[in-house]
Structure 1
Amino acid sequence: MPFSILATGFVAGLALIVAIGAQNAYVLRIGLSAKTGTVTAVVLVCAVSDTALIAAGIAGIGALTELAPPVLVVLRLAAIVFLLVYGALSLRRALRSPETLEAANASPPRLWPAVLTVLAFTWLNPHVYLDTVLFLGSIGNQFGDQRWWFWLGAAAGSWAWFLALGFGARALRPLFAKPWTWRVLDALIALIMLVLATVLIVELVHGA
């Protein structure tokens, strides 16, 4: 087994996934406030999606993204609307009466809304196709017949990260027993969403 290729894939996958983004911020909030079943479902959606997207890049499907710029435009428009709406909701939560851990536990996020939301964060993000499919796919294909070992390593990195983020968030619950920390978290999430929406708007204007 080529451990060096596995390790390269693992590190490359983590390098792209660990960066704070809309998906990670949402998984963190779910990990803090949702029931175990909901956290598990959200983590699985993220990890399985990444596994499939990286596989698509390794299989050479990434080239299709370059041949279909209108698809990226539609994705950017949908992502902008989604990020602005979710960012506004997060800002509203940050500005109203501070949430407490007890309140979050009393009305945790429901399963299907959480799953649909994280699906939107994952599949409406045009950068996921450029980074995960094209970037990781191009690196993996440099290994020729052993490229699927790279895929396995990158996928393992994704699984490790989302499992740690989703279930490791519970270690932060003592911190979130203080109401002001929820306000800070929601303000940070709102900032991330609005910044990402702005980046997508700039890309859309410059690409027009």
Structure 2
Amino acid sequence: MSFHFPAFFSGLTIALGLLVAIGPQNTFVLKQGIARAQIVAIVTVCILCDILLITLGVAGLGAFISSQPMLIRIATWGGAAFLALYGFRSFRSAMKASSLQTGGSVQTTRRGAILAAMAFTLLNPYVYLDTVVLMGAVSSRFSEALPSYWLGCVTTAVCWFGGLGFFAGRLAPLFARPFSWRVLDSMVGVIMCATAWHLLSSFG
């Protein structure tokens, strides 16, 4: 089966528009990258999970999920609870001076980082909406060129999370000051809680 550039480019651009938006998953990767804490493990998990979800979406799982309102409701409440909990944890870290030297709620162990990365990816319903439902829906426009479209989506995921995780380390000097971590933790808390609220108001 030959390579189809228009389908590849469509997958590239659609995935870019969906994955680049600042949300819980990207915020977590950015924060860990700034702290230079277990970023290889985190980026690997995010990439592998997104590849799996994109593959399922292209294979047609998105249509099934869209037809199961109870499944969507369960995922919404579970994801909102997780995001709200992490958001309050970030607010608490911002207020505790003793935690600022280690970057607040940054995951420093490999096991904790992997579990957190999986949670931010698999417990966030918006990830399924972006990868499985929306990317999967667009894939229906292609038939013979489906592998090229899939490759475009996957290429974006690999480049985005790799770049976000590893280049965030360049911001590390800025966050040598405790005040910078206090601001970042507060911003993370706002994003997590706002996403949880939007989930419940839209799908709960």
The verdict on a shared fold, with TM-score over 0.5 as the criterion, is yes
Structure 1 segments, 4+ long, off by >4 Å, are: none
The whole-number CA distance in structure 2 between the counterparts of 1:157 and 1:98 is 38
1:12 equivalent in structure 2: 14
| Matched residue count | 201
Residues 80 and 200, structure 1, Cα contact 8 Å, conserved in 2: yes
1:2 equivalent in structure 2: 4
The whole-number CA distance in structure 1 between the counterparts of 2:26 and 2:57 is 22
**TM-score, normalised via structure 1 length:** 0.90
Q: Tell me, which stretches of 5 or more residues in structure 1 are unaligned?
A: none
**TM-score, normalised via structure 2 length:** 0.91
The whole-number CA distance in structure 2 between the counterparts of 1:163 and 1:130 is 22
Q: Tell me, which stretches of 5 or more residues in structure 2 are unaligned?
A: none
Cα displacement (A) at 1:203? 2.2
The whole-number CA distance in structure 1 between the counterparts of 2:51 and 2:190 is 28
1:59 equivalent in structure 2: 59
Correspondence list, 1:183-194, <5 A: 183-194=182-193
Provide the identity percentage: 37
The whole-number CA distance in structure 2 between the counterparts of 1:122 and 1:108 is 15
Cα displacement (A) at 1:99? 5.6
Cα displacement (A) at 1:98? 7.3
Distance change (3 Å), C-alpha of 1:200 and 1:133:
same
Correspondence list, 1:21-32, <5 A: 21-32=23-34
Q: Deviation per CA, 1:60-93: give whole Å up to 9, x if none.
A: 1211102222111111111111111100110011
1:153 equivalent in structure 2: 152
Residues 83 and 195, structure 2, Cα contact 8 Å, conserved in 1: yes
1:117 and 2:116 aligned: yes
Q: Deviation per CA, 1:90-113: give whole Å up to 9, x if none.
A: 00111221765x644xx9611111
2:76 equivalent in structure 1: 76
The whole-number CA distance in structure 2 between the counterparts of 1:103 and 1:147 is 45
Specify the SS of the correspondent of 2:182: helix
2:126 equivalent in structure 1: 127
One-letter amino acid matched to 1:132: T
1:181 and 2:172 aligned: no
RMSD of Structure 2 on Structure 1 (CA): 1.9
Q: Deviation per CA, 1:129-148: give whole Å up to 9, x if none.
A: 22211111111220111111
The whole-number CA distance in structure 2 between the counterparts of 1:90 and 1:24 is 15
